[in-house]
């Protein structure tokens, strides 16, 4: 089974092992070693910093048209290479091949969107009080960016960060996910082939805490962007704050789904089952707390369990697989902990509830009903193939329950009533609300959370905001 050769990418050069320390890469479906990832040495990281600082000085002066051309070409290459990159993702991350390939194809759109929008990073002219004065506002790239992308969407999360940084005129040092690195190495090759000047993008690997410590400690880095857990995000944001570095944080979520009595129940069940178990539930916007109104509760639960029970679980490379393994062994234990806690508190495990015996990090798609409000599953992000279902009586009551956690990323509502739709769209404390469908994470729409789910948006016209400084210039003639 061919798996791509892994490397660092520093100052336009791909660096393979060369005696460096590193780690084995496992296929989570078979637990077999598929590759070896070299870790950056201290010298490699210093070189990446120097290269990024040097490249920034010229890239910040590049024309928007030039940046746009590189991003557009990168988008074309993503589409052309989607098959091979997708295969690599399935081998090191585990998701079904159709999902992996779909992830890469959707990134073609993200690169294209950034190619289009970077030509529209405008300043403005502010009419002055004195006719002899000219007042302008300029938007300038923040500088060298340290980016940290996660393993659940190894390609798309890296693409969003890198495209925004490059489009804004910044240079980047990206530490990708060591658990699922092949897509990020492929991304470096794409930008290399698309003609990005050397040093504008650098890829490093290592022990996450050591790499982030060094990069955040450097005065060269002016901004950090991180996608991952809330706990790590808070720690990195605190370090960044102590040096006044800019931050974009895409952190954990615990998305409520509110299904009202007046919803189209069949449509809700159909779309929610597919969405819940996508990427084995390892998605920050995965629906996790299902609040179902009492009038349709039994019908919803029966339909949800039947559809979930029909999901085909297996190796992501096998034909027809709808859900693959969890990305790492530690996730199996973490998900089991949520189920055990629910059982101990008297909830009903209606389906699944245990790891799948045999090789691979598989956990059965799990549905748990009648959860007490204190259960871990209703309070902490499960990040796995577990759906917790609870009933509610009134919309006001469920709004308060949905808003009761510190998270605020995605939320979902199913209702045919405009009154309810308005109540939830204005009342839910979340960065994103999707009503009667699952319409998040498109290139042209902003993606981001509030409160413990982070700060800043990726995608949409907001995508460059975190990568630009505002400069005011006033001139008296
Ligand atoms: P974790 O908290 O150990 O790591 C989360 C991510 O942060 C990983 O990509 C890891 O490489 C990185 N990381 C960890 N310590 C770091 C440091 N000091 N500096 C820089 N990066 C660091 O958890 P995990 O077991 O890898 O993942 C499970 C949890 O992570 C889940 O519960 C979920 O909340 C969260 N997660 C969220 C997303 C997301 O899309 N928001 C993605 C992946 C993981």
| Tens of pLDDT, residues 138-149 | 999 999 999 999
Say if residue 95 is in the same domain as residue 210: yes
Using the predicted structure, report yes or no on whether residue 103 has a pLDDT greater than 90.
Answer: yes
CATH number for position 242: 3.40.605.10
CA-based torsion, 305, 307, 308, 311: positive or negative: positive
Pocket of ligand 1 (CB under 6 A): 148, 150-152, 177, 208-209, 212, 227-229, 231-232, 236, 250-252, 284, 330, 381, 383
pLDDT at 326: 98
Pick the catalytic residue from 118, 247, 260, 284: 284
The average pLDDT across 190-205 equals: 98
The average pLDDT across 279-286 equals: 98
Of 214, 268, 222, nearest to 248 by C-alpha is 222
Say if residue 310 is in the same domain as residue 429: yes
Instruction: Count other C-beta atoms under 10 Å from residue 337's C-beta.
Output: 15
- Does residue 175 sit within a domain? yes
Say if residue 380 is in the same domain as residue 456: no
- Does residue 2 sit within a domain? no
- Does residue 447 sit within a domain? no
Rg (CA), the chain: 23
pTM of model > 0.95: yes
- Does residue 134 sit within a domain? yes
CA distance 136 to 128: 10
Pick the catalytic residue from 250, 380, 381, 458: 250
Say if residue 373 is in the same domain as residue 469: no
Domain extent for 20: 8-251+452-476
Q: Is 247 a catalytic residue?
A: no
Q: Which atom of ligand 1 is nearest to the CA of 251?
A: 41
Q: Is 250 a catalytic residue?
A: yes
CATH number for position 323: 3.40.309.10
Rounded distance from Cα 22 to ligand 1 centre (Å): 19
- Does residue 1 sit within a domain? no
CA distance 217 to 74: 31
pLDDT band at 263 (very low <50, low <70, confident <90, very high): very high
């Amino acid at each position: 089974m061919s798996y791509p050769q892994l490397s660092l990418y520093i100052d336009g050069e791909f660096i393979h092992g060369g005696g460096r320390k590193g780690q084995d890469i496992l296929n989570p479906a078979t637990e077999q070693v598929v590759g070896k990832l070299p870790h950056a040495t201290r010298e490699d990281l210093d070189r990446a910093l120097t290269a990024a600082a040097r490249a920034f000085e010229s890239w910040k002066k590049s024309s928007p048209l030039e940046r746009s051309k590189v991003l557009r070409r990168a988008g074309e290459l993503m589409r052309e290479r989607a098959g091979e990159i997708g295969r690599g993702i399935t081998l090191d991350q585990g998701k079904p091949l159709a999902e992996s390939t779909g992830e890469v194809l959707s990134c073609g759109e993200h690169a294209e969107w950034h190619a289009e929008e970077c030509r529209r990073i405008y300043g403005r002219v502010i009419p002055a009080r004195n006719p002899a004065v000219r007042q302008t506002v300029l938007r300038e790239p923040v500088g060298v960016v340290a980016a940290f992308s996660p393993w659940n969407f190894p390609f798309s999360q890296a693409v969003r960060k890198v495209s925004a940084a490059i489009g804004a005129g910044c240079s980047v040092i990206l530490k990708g996910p060591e658990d699922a690195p092949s897509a990020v190495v492929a991304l470096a090759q794409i930008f290399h082939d698309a003609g990005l000047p050397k040093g504008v993008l650098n890829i490093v690997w290592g022990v996450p805490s050591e790499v982030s410590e060094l990069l955040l400690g450097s005065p060269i880095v002016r901004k950090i962007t991180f996608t991952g857990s809330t706990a790590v995000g808070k720690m990195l944001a605190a370090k960044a704050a102590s040096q006044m570095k800019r931050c974009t944080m895409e952190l954990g979520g615990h998305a409520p789904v509110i299904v009202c009595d007046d919803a189209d129940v069949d449509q809700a069940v159909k779309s929610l089952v597919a969405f819940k178990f996508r990427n084995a539930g390892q998605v920050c916007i995965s629906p996790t707390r299902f609040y179902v109104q009492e009038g349709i509760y039994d019908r919803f639960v029966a339909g949800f369990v039947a559809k979930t029970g029909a999901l085909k679980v297996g190796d992501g490379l096998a034909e027809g697989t709808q859900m693959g393994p969890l990305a790492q062994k530690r996730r199996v234990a973490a998900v089991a902990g949520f189920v055990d806690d629910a059982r101990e508190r008297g909830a009903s495990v209606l389906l699944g509830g245990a790891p799948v015996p045999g090789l691979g990090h598989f956990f059965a798609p799990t549905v748990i009903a009648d959860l007490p409000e204190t259960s871990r599953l209703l309070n902490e992000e499960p990040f796995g193939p577990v759906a917790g279902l609870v009933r509610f009586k009134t919309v006001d009551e469920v709004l308060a329950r949905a808003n009761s956690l510190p998270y605020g990323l995605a939320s979902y509502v199913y209702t045919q009533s405009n009154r309810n739709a308005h109540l939830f769209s204005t009342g839910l404390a979340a960065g994103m609300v999707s009503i009667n469908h699952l319409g998040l994470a498109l290139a042209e729409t902003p993606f981001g959370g509030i409160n413990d789910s982070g700060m800043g948006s990726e995608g949409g016209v907001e995508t460059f905001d975190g990568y630009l400084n505002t400069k005011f210039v006033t001139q008296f003639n």
